[in-house]
Amino acid sequence: MSVPYDVWRQYLVPQHGLSRFAGLLANSKRPKLKNHLIRYFLSRYHVDMSEAQIEDPYAYKSFNDFFTRKLKEDARPISENPQHLISPADSTLYQFGRIEEDTLLRAKNHAYVLSSLLGRKDDLSQTFSNGHYYCFYLAPYNYHRVHMPCTGNLLKMRYIPGRLFSVNQSTAEHVEHIFARNERVVAFFEGECGKFVVILVGAMLVGNIHTSWMGKVAPGNDGQMKEVDYKPNAVKIARGQEVGHFAMGSTAIVLFEKHIKSLETLKNNQSILMGESIATF
Catalogue the active-site residues.
Answer: 90, 147, 250
Distance between CA atoms of 145 and 28, rounded to whole angstroms? 21
Counting Cβ atoms within 10 Å, is residue 205 exposed (0-12), middle (13-18) or buried (19+)? buried
CA distance 52 to 206: 22
Report the alpha-carbon distance of residue 139 to residue 90 in Å, rounded. 9
**Pairwise CA distance, residues 122 & 145, whole Å:** 29
Q: Please state, in angstroms and rounded to a whole number, the distance separating the CA atoms of residues 259 and 194.
A: 9
In one-letter notation, the amino acid at residue 10 is Q
Rounded Cα distance between 133 and 19, Å, is 28
SS3 content of the chain, % helix, strand, coil (to 5): 25, 30, 45
- Coil vs helix vs strand at 39: helix
Considering only CA atoms, which of 139, 80, 77, 134 is closest in space to residue 275? 77
Residue 112 DSSP code: E
Beta bridge partners of 163: 182
Side-chain-side CA neighbours of residue 131 (13 Å): 20
Q: What is the torsional sign of CA 235, 237, 242, 248?
A: positive
